Amino acid sequence: MVTSITSFGRSGLYDWMMQRVTAVVLMAYTIFMIGYLLFNPSLDYAQWSGLFSGTAMRIFTLLAILSMAAHAWIGLWSVSTDYIKITSLRFVFQSVCGLLAFIYVVWGIQILWGA
């Protein structure tokens, strides 16, 4: 068994399942967004703001943001362990990815509940 302390869930199976579950959430969100934009060609600020004031939409969006953070972390962790062979450099890369994911989640929450 290969140990790893930097992977998302410490278990290959858990990471693999999370990658698939988050992919489904992101696909659902993307399809919804494309559909919404297609069916509302003359979209204005009031309507856009109204869409995101509903609790359901806020939950759905927060779910999509969290899914994106987890999905990106698992994916980029995998890429970094493939291609970055110098441990210190890999750790810095992973730290930057983790920090960015955290920033985007907090920023996303602020946007969702701030307006």
Partner 1 sequence: MLVSVYRYNPEKDNAPYMQDIHIDIPGGKDIMVLDLLQLLKEKDTTLTFRRSCREGVCGSDGMNMNGKNGLACITPLSQVVEKDKLVLRPLPGLPVIRDLVIDMSQFYRQYEKVKPFLINDTPAPAIERLQSPEDRAELDGLYECILCACCSTACPSFWWNPDKFIGPSGLLQAYRFLADTRDTARDQRLSELDDPFSVFRCHGIMNCVNVCPKGLNPTKAIGKIRNMLLQRAT
Residue ranges of the annotated binding site for heme are 71
Q: Does 21 bind partner 1 (CB under 8 A)?
A: no
| Contacts of 67 by beta carbon, 8 Å cutoff, 6+ apart | 21, 22, 25, 26, 29
CA distance 68 to 107: 13
- C-beta neighbour count of 19 within 10 angstroms: 16
Q: Is 16 in the site for partner 1 (CB under 8 A)?
A: yes
Using the rule CB under 8 A, give the single segment among 13-21, 41-49, 54-62, 99-107 that binds partner 1: 13-21
| Residue 91 makes contact with partner 1 by CB under 8 A | no
Q: Is 80 in the site for partner 1 (CB under 8 A)?
A: no
The sign of the dihedral angle between the CA atoms of 31, 69, 22, 109 is negative
- Residue 39 sits in the site that holds partner 1 (CB under 8 A): no
Q: Ramachandran region of residue 84, left (φ > 0), alpha (ψ -120 to 50) or beta?
A: beta
Binding site residue list = 71, 83
Given candidates 38, 41, 82, 86, which one binds partner 1 under the rule CB under 8 A?
82
Q: Which is nearer to partner 1, 76 or 81 (CB)?
A: 81
* Contacting residues toward partner 1, per CB under 8 A: 1-4, 7, 10-13, 15-17, 78, 81-83
